[in-house]
Structure 1
């Protein structure tokens, strides 16, 4: 049984157990919640303790990998610039669309109130400055104090500047620092792995209290969350089609036919890495030469997650909606910046680890309580399908767009057939990134 399945079953068992206990044995339910509540909180705190060092280490190594790839040549540089532009655009899209969706289809007030009570009326993590103070405080005066206060946006800005500075060092100290932060990230991932071994217990305890307090409202709220967050992934997925058709100078129907096999692999594996061979074949059918695909697609799999910043921000915005926390321009700006910047640090991690490492910094930067994330991670399997398919589709779209800008994509169906009939070298080669895990999960 996979870890995601165990976590989902623990969530269901906790919710159903809490609902039944509250209905048929209220006295027992009250006593049980007094025990399960602290256990669930302790498990959540164990996850929180590694977030700061993990995000800092992953951001440094992610930027270092991007800079190294950009130095590989013009094709890699164009690809990375395209990646960055798309990541910021989809993040801004989520900031505009999610509040609109929640206004048109809000979570029923009684469900939200019941869940807030079940989660113990969690308080926001910290005060978020007004818009003027936001720009004044975006650069930290004391990075240690920012880390201690969970001020993730200024901490992220400092880490980004530090990471770019590392890329300008001579080879020996640069390699030393990157390896150090890679080791820190690996150690944090090991710790999170240990904590997640206890996830069924922690989530069961948290879910028991929620079920006892909310009844069946918890199931409706989780379904509502899945629909809202998956809708953002669907928008990114749909946007990949015009990106591929217009940027790659191919017909929309032709792009859709070529990318469909890669999407099928993505659905079945929930892994961009496992979909890489299928993406290479799809790109070849669209006329992208192996010389371009062998550079762009491995880089895309390593550092590019088209759906991640948008869906991570959507999770944070949903938590604000769920917990009744009003958001102003400063909070949304903090969420957008944190989501867009940190997305390159969440690559190649198993799904549950990626979800915590990617969404918690965004929520904390916006001043939101993160207790709800412990429940939302249990149903991440469904949104993760949209993440993976959207990522794979956009990877192919960017690949053929970069190829078209180098004059490498045939302009007609007959040209594409002639190009695909020519012998091609192995597109994989040594370009495949080494620090990638085949585990599913795309946040």
Structure 2
């Protein structure tokens, strides 16, 4: 991820300053005057509220083109069956499997520890009603109850253009997934040109998102002022709990799931694996950038892990844009945390829908600067949670970005190791790896 700068300061520092200014001003108002004071109400209704909503609507505007183009391109690149055969299929299947595990871990952690509970329910309900009114018509909400057969039926759009016009996000994502698979199966010069057009759409969409994200420091200040003026110190306590749960979930995935995948599916020693990928992990954490980590990951895969060059380059390059366990986990934890914060009880059906969107969103927005923001905001509206809550998350996003980028980059190397097993074995010297027989 390239750091955008304004006036010599990196964007994440400007976002932190906006967070601090908004939080500080909101806390002062909460402790001295109260959020219902006349001029405070006027300020939130006519200045800070509209400015925050403009930022959110700019993100919503890009949801459909971003998710469609990113998902199609990600799947088309991942499933390059003509050049890599079964390796492409293994990459796709393992990406979905490991991302699913990541999201489930995040959802379980949030349900167990309830980091968003504890704020004044009256205040939460007040902002909840405002959020529902402001988000009306942006994204169709997820149903609270639905039969299993109807649930799967709803995933397949009878008319994708109608689904897109009505902002039915999940059916559009499923269509994009199949469209990407179709691009792979119908490989020809014509489909190559079509893929280039969709890649162009993705680049334009990301250019606009990068443009809109420059408004984030101002938007965060406005959103945080509104939230802090209303909730006071409860905001900081819940925020600390959210960070703790998010980091804890990422740690479980990193130090429990990844070693098991390496041991069982990769047939290697987890200790030897982590020893070989120390440098990419450090670079990923320090830069919070999958792109900056890619050259170091390629070097570690070939020199430390002794993976076949062809497989490693394919999987790691695709993984930098499509295999994002940390991003999927982060999105799931964030949506459920904010739902708890605003007192929205999500049913099992709604949580399953959140999980599916996060899994597909992990493929569709991976490796993209600020690419997860439209997805998170869109899911919040789907489950009838005020999208203004995203300002709370953006204030601590830099640290969480460092953590989830480390998880993403390590996951790419895990995926490359597993996919490489049985592929071009002659390119791997047995003396350089420490195989461990998986348990029966």
TM-score normalised according to structure 2 size: 0.84
Q: Are 1:4 and 1:378, in contact at CA under 8 Å, matched by a contact in 2?
A: no
Q: For residues 377 and 22 of structure 1, what CA distance do their matches in structure 2 show?
A: 21
| Residue 79 of structure 2 corresponds to residue 67 of structure 1 | yes
- Provide the residue aligned with 2:212 in structure 1: 195
1:264 maps to 282
| Map 1:145-184 → 2, pairs under 5 A | 145-169=162-186, 171-184=188-201
Q: Could you say which residue in structure 2 is the equivalent of 1:84?
A: 96
Q: Which residue of 1 aligns with 2:12?
A: 4
Contact 2:100-2:359 within 8 A present in 1 as well: yes
Q: Are the aligned partners of 1:116 and 1:323 in contact in 2 as well (CA < 8 Å)?
A: yes
Deviation of the 1:291 alpha carbon: 4.2
User: Could you tell me how far 1:14 is from its partner in structure 2?
Assistant: 0.9
- C-alpha change, 1:81 and 1:71, in structure 2 (3 Å) is farther
In the alignment, the residues of structure 2 paired with residue 47 and residue 106 of structure 1 have an alpha-carbon distance, to the nearest angstrom, of: 24
- Of 401, 404, 416, the residue aligned with 2:432 is 416
Whether 1:222 and 2:230 are equivalent positions in the alignment is no
**8 Å contact from structure 1 (residues 320, 368) kept in 2:** yes
CA offsets, 1:402-433, max 9 Å, x none?
3333345555xxx1189xxxxxxxxxxxxxxx
Residue 13 of structure 1 contacts residue 204 of structure 1 at CA under 8 Å; is this kept in 2? yes
| Residue in 1 that maps onto 2:372 | 355
Report if aligned partners of 2:128, 2:342 keep a CA contact under 8 Å in 1.
Answer: no
Post-superposition offset of 1:223? 1.9
- Where does residue 311 of structure 1 map in the other structure? 330
Deviation at 1:217, TM superposition (A): 2.2
Question: Secondary structure at 2:167's aligned position in 1?
Answer: coil
User: 1:215 Cα deviation (Å)?
Assistant: 1.9
For the structure 1 residues 392 and 314, does the alpha-carbon distance in structure 2 shift closer, same or farther, using more than 3 Å as the test? same
2:223, 2:389 within 8 Å by CA — same for their partners in 1? no
1:185 Cα offset (Å): 2.2
Q: Tell me which of 359, 362, 374 is aligned to 1:343.
A: 362
SS for the counterpart of 2:186 is coil
The aligned residue for residue 22 of structure 2 is: 14
The offset of 1:248, in angstroms, is 3.4
Residue 115 of structure 1 contacts residue 210 of structure 1 at CA under 8 Å; is this kept in 2?
Answer: no
CA positional deviation for 1:13? 0.2
Contact 2:332–2:355 (CA under 8 A) maintained in structure 1? yes
Deviation string 1:180-231 (CA, Å, 9 cap, x unpaired) is: 2222222222222222222222221222222222222222222222222222
Q: Is the 8 A contact 2:81 2:89 kept in 1?
A: yes
Q: Structure 1: how far apart are the matches of 2:78 and 2:274?
A: 29
The 1:142–1:370 alpha-carbon spacing in structure 2 relative to 1, beyond 3 Å, is farther
Matched, 1:109 2:119: yes
- Partners of 2:349 and 2:331 lie apart in 1 by 17
Check whether the contact 2:323–2:363 (CA below 8 A) recurs between aligned residues: yes
In structure 2, distance between residues paired with 1:68 and 1:417? 28
Q: 1:50 to 1:417 in 2, by over 3 A?
A: closer
Residues 184-333 of structure 1 mapped to structure 2, 5 A cutoff: 184-238=201-255, 239-283=257-301, 284-333=303-352
Unmatched 5+ stretches in structure 2: 1-8, 435-440
CA distance 1:355–1:171, shift in 2 (3 Å): same
Structure 2: distance between partners of 1:90 and 1:162: 25
Match of 2:387, SS state, is: coil
In the alignment, structure 1 segments of 5+ residues that lack a partner are 419-443
**How many pairs does the alignment contain?**
410
TM-score (norm 1): 0.83
Q: Secondary structure in 1 aligned to 2:74?
A: helix
Deviation at 1:50, TM superposition (A): 1.6
Contact kept, 8 Å, 2:116 with 2:242, in 1: the verdict is no
Whether the 8 Å contact between 1:244 and 1:396 is mirrored in structure 2 is: no
Q: Which residue of 2 aligns with 1:128?
A: 142
CA shift digits 1:234-278 (9 cap, x unpaired): 222112123224433333332232222221111111122222233
